[in-house]
Structure 1
């Protein structure tokens, strides 16, 4: 249903004094039409039911055999790591299931402070602050940091949470073409009279696996007196030589001012997000950031799992290297077979570009029949005509499992005439 249609239904109903059941019935009729339109377009997104722990191999309802999972954000395989699970169990016993409160009232525990210290140290920042999700971290920062006298310059393909967070602030909003540094400089020039200028970008763009050109961005920020903010959800823990993220990958960590990221992907995979940066900023966020002030504290088991995950990453740099080797193996074989892959050659997000939404969904269903769990991505998650299967490699995948996935891609690709 189009938004205008829905508004018309509501306004007509209320103008006639018809509220409650009758009004909702009218709305439901229009909603059903919209749902049918999604199905007819081939972009319906069903949800498969998993009946096991997250891991390289999972159980999917309706399938008797184990299924290899190649579309989770479990980049290091830590979601079901025994030490991570044990840390969560222990915290459940010692600190309970949850705080039943927000942080500043009676919701801050020693576990929260310990994890914030670890995060700050991990990223080489002065301090950090925890949120219920990185979506909340992105929703909470721009409004606090920027005023009507300031400007935020954002990559046009930034994550929806960054876009929504920026909408909440009163700063002048500018967008630059995706990874286009000439356009970024033009926007910075347009904002020259603004008091503060902040460049906002994903470190890695999740749908494409493209990496932001951080060295060039940092050079422009220095030239124009701007602050650099990056969302590192698809870099933290596994990208870069020791998993510190995109800034480590490029060697520009000391030039990145603010990092927002998640605990819900490589760092245990449960939930939670954070901001890491200068202590003054973190202190101000504790005083004014609405998602922080009005959301329950992260549950102790979740905090303990993430804390243990960071311990495992910092003590074992082999994990990020295993992700990289699996990525190279997958990409090289797929490219040799004739598939069109998007993204950075060193990043484990590997979009298999199929363009057509129906084809992407059909391809994913065929893969599941062969024991490989992948999902077709189509509009509105990605632009129209850019449908794909987004493969994500994990350190927990063996070489044999990567080969098995590629073999299935090749078999189905030939069947559906995607490759010769």
Structure 2
């Protein structure tokens, strides 16, 4: 059998299961209102939580660095790719996360893969939350350590697993800070308490919490007032730029610089991206009021959807998962939303478990009250039409 014929057979199975995916081109800067396939859509699936990806200050900072340093970094940080902007941004991130040091990666995905494939050794074990992001799962697979999965944010199960893994040399607990598909918040204070009791290390991926949770947007560490051993994050969500990072002690960051293959062998992000992210952190530190308004909108939307009769998952975060259940029905729901000018794609297996297909709404500071009113009216009418509510 030829390769294309074999792959087409496999794609046909994906289509039959209702989980086939394709790309949609968006025309314009990442504002809530964008044109897709010639039609205006209000986007409700962006991780641009604070609206910084299109902020004039970030664009100006990037343009200035672009003129001075060029379009690309030309190599890995350890060869020709290191600039003063990379080092400035790392110091800014360390200060923001209240750690001794930080290290930039080219994406949050690469940061997770690099940390988890280099820190734990063969005689170690990683205890990983059941709903951790794919980048954490892949990092665990790349690691020489064993991996044990504990039930989602279930501290009793985590403690049992810590008890059962005492034979290992070292134990690493790794968790998302905010879980991207369920919008739940990891109880980081309880996790760190257990880690201290059982002599484990804690690694938290704060991708969806950085810039959002905590009084100054510091993430789940600030939200709970605790200090994990390693904090991983991304610059592509609330920060509005591109790249990832790991933050921790000076020794831990020095170790990653020398051992994390996804840092050593990866071309560095451009200095212009660093300059934009640096300016974003300046804005985030002064955005307390914007976060308060954002969470006011989040609370209103969550409450309204629940009152309609929808199954709404998650905690008080910008991620609002509305569970429809069946994959095909969820795709139909998303298509009906799009007909009304609302872009919120269906989330289906394997991203979520079978029977858990959903419309995953993400709320940003740029959404207007008129956008919210139209969203809620559309959910009500479509839900009634499809006999979901």
Q: What's the TM-score, normalizing by structure 2? A: 0.97
Q: 2:350 aligns with which of 380, 383, 387?
A: 380
Q: Tell me the equivalent position of 1:50.
A: 26
1:284 to partner: Cα distance: 1.1
Q: Is the 8 A contact 1:330 1:403 kept in 2?
A: no
Alignment of 1:172 onto 2:146:
yes
Alignment match, 1:274: 245
Cα distance in structure 1, aligned partners of 2:147 and 2:305: 40
- TM-superposed deviation, 1:52: 0.9
CA distance in 1, matches of 2:292, 2:223: 12
Which of 206, 214, 227 is the matching residue for 1:232? 206
Question: Is the 8 Å Cα contact of residues 74 and 265 (structure 1) preserved in structure 2?
Answer: yes
Deviates most, 177-186 or 115-124: 177-186
Listed one character per residue, the Cα deviations across residues 100-125 of structure 1 (whole Å, up to 9, x for unaligned) are: 11111121100000000010011100
- Cα distance in 2 between the residues matched to 1:227 and 1:263: 24
Residue of structure 2 in register with 1:398 after alignment: 368
Contact 1:238 1:319 in 2 (8 A): no
Displacement after TM superposition at 1:298 (Å): 0.7
8 Å contact kept, 1:238–1:323 = no
Alignment equivalent of 1:141, drawn from 87, 103, 115:
115
2:16 pairs with 1:40? yes
Match of 2:190 in 1: 216
In 2, Cα distance between equivalents of 1:56 and 1:323: 14
Pair 1:111 & 2:85 matched? yes
2:274 is the counterpart of 1:303? yes
Cα RMSD (Å): 1.3
Partner of 2:169 in structure 1?
195
SS at match of 1:291: helix
Mapped contact 1:71–1:375 kept (Cα < 8 A): yes
Q: Is the contact made by 1:361 and 1:375 (CA closer than 8 Å) also made in structure 2?
A: yes
Whether 1:27 aligns to 2:27 is no
CA distance in 2, matches of 1:106, 1:45: 38
**Residue deviations 1:29-62, cap 9 Å, x none?**
1211221222222222222211111112111123
Contact 1:236 1:261 (8 Å CA) reproduced: yes
In structure 1, the partner of 2:382 is 412
Q: Deviations over 1:183-239 (max 9, x none)?
A: 111111122232322111111111111111112111101111111110011111112
Unaligned runs of 5+ in 1: 1-8, 10-25
In 2, distance between residues paired with 1:131 and 1:323? 29
Q: CA deviation at 1:88?
A: 1.1
Report how far residue 244 of structure 1 moved: 1.1
Name the structure 2 match of 1:6.
Answer: none
Secondary structure, in 3 states, of the residue corresponding to 2:52? Answer: coil
**Which ranges in structure 2 are unaligned for 5 or more consecutive residues?**
none
SS of the aligned residue for 1:228 comes to strand
What's 1:331 paired with?
A: 302
CA distance in 2, matches of 1:54, 1:205: 23
- Mapped partners of 1:322, 1:302: distance in 2: 28
Q: Would the aligned equivalents of 1:131 and 1:297 in 2 still touch at CA under 8 Å?
A: yes
The Cα shift of 1:351 comes to: 0.5
- 2:340 maps to which of 360, 366, 370: 370
Q: 1:152 aligns to what SS in structure 2?
A: strand
Q: Mark the CA change 1:144 to 1:43 in structure 2 (over 3 Å): closer, same or farther.
A: closer
Q: Supply the distance in 2 between the matched residues of 1:326 and 1:231 (Cα, whole angstroms).
A: 25
SS in 1 for 2:78: helix
Look up the SS of the partner of 1:91 in the other structure: helix
Larger Rg: 1
Show the counterpart of 1:205.
179
Q: Are 1:360 and 2:341 counterparts?
A: no
Distance 2:86 2:194 in 1: 36
Secondary structure class of the residue paired with 1:93: helix
Offset of residue 247 of structure 1: 2.1
Q: Is residue 76 from structure 1 mapped to residue 50 from structure 2 by the alignment?
A: yes
Looking at structure 1, the residues matched to 104 and 151 of structure 2 have their Cα atoms a distance apart, in angstroms, of 31
Alpha-carbon offset, residue 266 of structure 1: 0.9
Q: Deviation per CA, 1:318-374, whole angstroms, max 9, x where unpaired?
A: 222222111011111111111110111x11100110001111111111111111111
Displacement of 1:144 in angstroms is: 2.1
Displacement of 1:400: 2.3
